[in-house]
Amino acid sequence: MAVKRAMCTLILLLSLMAMSAAGDDDGAPPPASAPVSASTACDDTTDPTFCRTVLPPHGSSDLYTYGRFSVARSLDGARRFAALVDRYLARHRRLPASTVGALRDCQLMSDLNVDFLTASSSTLHHNNNNTDDVHTLLSAILTNQQTCLDGLNSAASSSPERDGLVAPIANNTKLYSLSLSLFTRAWVVPTSNTKKHKPPHHGHGGRKLFEMARRVAMEGGAVAVNGVVTVDGSGGGAGNYTTVGEAVAAAPSNLDGSTGHYVIYVVGGVYEENVVVPKHKRYIMMVGDGIGQTVITGNRSVVDGWTTFNSATFAVVGQGFVAMNMTFRNTAGPSKHQAVALRSGADLSAFYGCSFEAYQDTLYTHSLRQFYRDCDIYGTVDYVFGNAAVVFQSCNFLSRLPMPGQSNTITAQGRSDPNQNTGTSIQGCSLLAAPELDAALATAGAYRTLTYLGRPWKNYSRTVVMESYVGGIVDPAGWMPWSGDFALDTLFYAEYNNSGPGADTSRRVSWPGFHVLGSGVDAGNFTVTSMVLGDNWLPQTGVPFTNGFITSTA
């Protein structure tokens, strides 16, 4: 068996070397590095010892070929893991409901990983220019893997299903991390501090766009509405629905965005439903009548048996999703702990003029590239969390009254690998107390709630607050540890050019990973242009954005 595996490995590497030679004339990737031994190629990866067990030990090749080889191995591992999860779910009648829920999350994650690795492999083999997309996909694959593991650990401390998946998850995680590490060494140009900076641009087409979309059913307009949702069914006729879920299901599958978005207008009303926009429902735009007018609400929570991932009232996976003028709400309440209002794992997703309302874990920015503009986010514990590359611009973060003994933490960013291009950027926003917390704080000083900018959910947690108004509710320390000294020297937390009574950094934490940025060049890495490559895709959404710094002094 070992000989057979070695022969397969050799054949795969030789075929990749041939593809690499055949693709040299395309000229898109950077010039190929000189041939090196596998041991040398592994030296600067995150786990050199593991790397040397994966790459062929004899001969030499360039980093591009090693990277393609590792991605191919990762794809094989992802397919095997997806099949294993399917086998466990096939006997779900004998499994506890909590385990089934976690396995279904793993099934979705593993299917997405096969898709992402297939796309990455194709891109790297054809030497095209979409290496930023590959970096995003390989980063998301690790996030998906971690999500699967977290769900299984929460569902059961020990079970045959959990125990049978832990080892494959660990092995594949190391393999995916290796693929990401080799990819960044070969394809990512190390000039991130100055890359892709353009003259400041302020896009302002969004409000006009959604107003036109809202009126088109009655007046006719430039933006076609493809479906209308009303609570009472008063729309009537084809293309009209009484639930948001029905309208999503009726949307065409696998749009590529070349002809614009499929527009669903959700008329004002309260829609009590849990909605999923699956991966094949791409480039949907959902337009409501305004915050507090068009409301999608649910009450799933971890206490009531759901995984955090599947507690979301509204979940979106399909690429290119845009929402405007809507409220997403989870009413489970603080005593039910994790209860998500909205989860986005949709690449190139944008939210404009929306409100997200819950307590713990309100907004799950799960993975891939996301943008939020002029939105309100309400919560208590870790109320913006996940591992997307995400920028919040001109948003309000409104900390609510938590349960006794709890502190508010605005963010819990989940970057688990140093090569992931993920992180949370809060730019030009306001960090304030929600009305109920404001009222409690005003009661003769008898009540005090500590509010922090964030805490590190995973080892390489990365969050930046810049050009924002930081209210007096934020504790002078600014940031809160997760547990002991976990991640304090590997995280990256930073503040830049903020204002307000809570913006004073003189008493901030002294962790090795915390920084007060004094350079606009460093802070520029967390603007729309650099963090989410927004210049390439946000103009097509109609959502307004500023691609660089907001303040003229930056």
Residues known to be catalytic: 382
What distance in Å separates the CA atoms of residue 497 and residue 467, rounded to the nearest whole number?
5
Q: Supply φ then ψ for residue 539, to 5 degrees.
A: -55, -30
Which ranges of 300-356 does DSSP label H, i.e. alpha helix? none
- Residue carrying the six token digits 């304090």: 488
Cα angle: 222, vertex 223, 228; to 5 degrees: 135
Distances (CA, A) of 402 to 92, 153, 340, 448: 37, 26, 16, 11
What distance in Å separates the CA atoms of residue 199 and residue 203, rounded to the nearest whole number?
13
Cα 48 to the chain's mean position, in Å?
A: 28
- DSSP letters for 66-129: HHHHHHHHHHHHHHHHHHHHHHHHTTGGGS-HHHHHHHHHHHHHHHHHHHHHHHHHHHHHTT-S
Q: Which residues of 131-157 are buried (b: 16+ CB within 10 A; e: fewer)?
A: bebbbbbbbbbbbbbbbbbbbbebbbe
Other Cβ atoms within 10 Å of 170 Cβ, number: 12
Which ranges of 366-481 does DSSP label H, i.e. alpha helix? 435-441
Distances (CA, A) of 21 to 15, 25, 26, 183, 539: 10, 8, 10, 18, 37
